[in-house]
Amino acid sequence: MIVGIDLGTTFSLVAIMRDDGPVVLPNALGANLTPSAVSVLDGGDLLVGEAARARATTHPERTALVWKRDMGTSRLWRVGDRSFTPPELSAMVLRSLKADAEAALGQPIEEAVVTVPAYFDETQRRATRDAGAIAGLRVERIINEPTAAALAFGLHERHREMRAVVFDLGGGTFDVTVLEIIEGVIEIQSSAGDSRLGGEDFAEALAAGVASRLSLPLETLRTEPRSWARLLAACDEAKRALTGAETARVALPDLSVDGRLRNIDATITRAEAEVLWAPLLDRLRAPTLRALRDAGLGPADVGEVLLVGGATRMPCVIRLASQIFDRVPDRRLPPDEAVALGAAVQAALKQGHAAVEDVVVTDVAPFTLGIAVAAQFGGQQIRGMFAPILERGTVIPASRVKTFETMADNQKEILVEVFQGEHASCEKNRKLGSYSLRNIPPGPAGSQSIDVRFSYDLNGLLEVDMTILTTGLRETLVVEQTPGRLTAKQIADARKALERLKFHPREALPNTTAMARADALYVELVGPARDVLGAAIANFRAALDSQVTPMIDDARAALLALVDQLSGPR
């Protein structure tokens, strides 16, 4: 069986296709959403998911969050006394999802369709595939998140003819995709977005606003991990509260700021928060309009607007989408689950599942791909100009070729540098790789022609063929080792290392998660409420020491009920 996985910045999900449609599988805690969080306990055990996320405020130096934005880079994340690459951290989440799926289905899972933001480039997609390999999953198909959401949406609308926009704002990335559905064919017409814009940025903007109002030194706060983590978590909670209320409170007793303890207590109105968020909302507008331009459409040409991603619950985001398209957006699919459900549809398509036998989906290249060239202007040679070969918006899989000529007499070698982006200058685009094409026959400048062909597949992976036309010599680009890209040996080594790491037992996660949530809340409380919670924590610890399962279950239920009660407005 092939599962569909939404590997998200803040939350991840795994789903499968049933005869009556796609469904999300629950994790060990019975929840559909698994936080993309990894934490290392003092004893060395690894926690993944809700328990790890709960430790982010109490043990920020031992917890990793929001590493998805660093996929495809060489950044190392320090977690406790260990260092991990972003693919290795993602692999731990994938491993947890794999275990949850196997527990729910009662069979081994070896293959997955994994989603990525439409604006993930080639190196980020390869890093995602590496993460799957480390986790023991075969990831032959990578699908864009808005395309996945379109699949989930289109599965129920396949007998209609319509044009729709998927407006996808998750925890860390933003994508907008224009699609058309005709007789079961879901055709993606354009995609645009911002791979470093999401709900986390709204929480950070709110934290910066609170710090400014209370005259707290923001840059100093950012250098104090525990204080910054507490402020950020409180502002994220306030952001969520403002979805349904006009005001929210940020209360943090004994917050360490520059060596002094401060009692933080601020009330934020939705209107005040939206002033802080205005620059972020402006960043949502530009890619949306660009996606419409690339599809050759105006807002009035769109029949449906589908909101996807947890951050689209925010009233200001809903209002922005309504203003751009002059219509009320559609929210029939659970915004947190739509991408995972679509990944399950794609997995079913790959398997040939009967439930999707009449569904066809196309996709488009989200970036322009090309090479660096030199050009003559007024007798001067200008290097580093970008020559597009495969334009953004091209329906994929696709293959495009352009012919280039030598620039110098008796030129024997050409350095073919591959870039991705939309700028005329290569230095403003992202370099994907390079290849030295040698053995060019001697001759005057311009006498030798070279065909450069780009072939781009549905997984967003690129192959570059270079052919010297006079000799027929053909070379294929092997992308050089890029930051964040692992070699086959590194993947094998990382997989062995992952197997050696001691993961916290899955069956004990409910207890560990309950304790982590209670500990995190205890830090934030003062007065009688703190005393009541402390007593409940002590009771739960006593139940754990007893090793009597019914007593543990009752104490855990009582503790979690109290945590939920005390987590409300204070």
Per-residue pLDDT tens digits for 416-471: 999 999 999 999 998 988 999 999 999 999 999 999 999 988 777 788 999 999 99
The predicted-structure confidence for 539-559, as pLDDT tens digits, reads as follows: 999 999 998 999 999 999 999
Residue that wins the pLDDT comparison between 49 and 153:
49
With pLDDT > 70 as the criterion, what percentage of the chain qualifies?
97
Q: DSSP states of 413-441 as a string?
A: -EEEEEEESS-SBGGGSEEEEEEEE--PP
Look-up of token digits 């065909």 = 451
CA–CA separation, 50 and 345 (whole Å): 26
* Whether residue 570 has pLDDT greater than 50: no
Whether 42 contacts 96, CB under 8 Å: no
- Which residue from 77, 92, 94 is spatially nearest to 497, judged by alpha carbons? 92
Query: Per-residue pLDDT averaged across 180-190, rounded?
Result: 85
Query: Per-residue pLDDT averaged across 169-194, rounded?
Result: 89
Phi, psi of 173 (to 5 degrees): -140, 155
Whether 379 contacts 403, CB under 8 Å: no
Give the Cβ contact number of residue 395 at 10 Å. 12
Instruction: Give the pLDDT confidence score for residue 479 in this predicted structure.
Output: 61
CA–CA separation, 41 and 561 (whole Å): 25
Instruction: Give the pLDDT confidence score for residue 485 in this predicted structure.
Output: 65
Instruction: Give the pLDDT confidence score for residue 480 in this predicted structure.
Output: 54
Q: How confident is the model at residue 295 (pLDDT cuts 50, 70, 90)?
A: very high
Look-up of token digits 């809903």 = 318
CA angle 89, 234, 6 (to 5 degrees): 35
The predicted-structure confidence for 488-525, as pLDDT tens digits, reads as follows: 888 888 889 888 888 888 888 999 999 999 999 999 89
Whether 140 contacts 111, CB under 8 Å: yes
Look-up of token digits 């005329």 = 424
Task: Please provide the distance, in angstroms rounded to a whole number, between the alpha carbons at the two ends of the chain.
Answer: 47
Query: Per-residue pLDDT averaged across 323-349, rounded?
Result: 92
Q: How confident is the model at residue 162 (pLDDT cuts 50, 70, 90)?
A: confident
The answer to whether the pTM exceeds 0.85 is: yes
What residues have CB less than 8 Å from 361, skipping those under 6 apart? 147, 150, 151, 154, 185, 186, 187, 188, 346, 349
3-state secondary structure 73-95: CCCCEEECCEEECHHHHHHHHHH
The predicted-structure confidence for 267-288, as pLDDT tens digits, reads as follows: 999 999 999 999 999 999 999 9
Q: DSSP states of 155-176 as a string?
A: HHHTTS-EEEEEEEE-SS-EEE
CA–CA separation, 397 and 191 (whole Å): 15
CA angle 114, 116, 120 (to 5 degrees): 145
Whether 51 contacts 506, CB under 8 Å: no
Instruction: Give the pLDDT confidence score for residue 360 in this predicted structure.
Output: 79
The catalytic residue positions are 6, 68, 145, 168
CA–CA separation, 199 and 284 (whole Å): 12
Q: How confident is the model at residue 183 (pLDDT cuts 50, 70, 90)?
A: confident
Which helix (H) or strand (E) segment holds residue 456: the answer is strand 449-456
* Secondary structure class of 349 (helix, strand, coil): helix
Average pLDDT, the chain: 91
Q: How confident is the model at residue 50 (pLDDT cuts 50, 70, 90)?
A: very high
Cα dihedral sign for 456, 460, 461, 464? Answer: positive
Token pair of 474, please?
Answer: 């053909």
* Whether residue 248 has pLDDT greater than 50: yes
What residues have CB less than 8 Å from 377, skipping those under 6 apart? none
CA–CA separation, 250 and 261 (whole Å): 16
With pLDDT > 90 as the criterion, what percentage of the chain qualifies?
72
Instruction: Give the pLDDT confidence score for residue 484 in this predicted structure.
Output: 60
Give the Cβ contact number of residue 378 at 10 Å. 5
The predicted-structure confidence for 80-95, as pLDDT tens digits, reads as follows: 999 999 999 999 999 9
For the ranges 27-36, 209-218, 470-479, the lowest mean pLDDT is seen at: 470-479
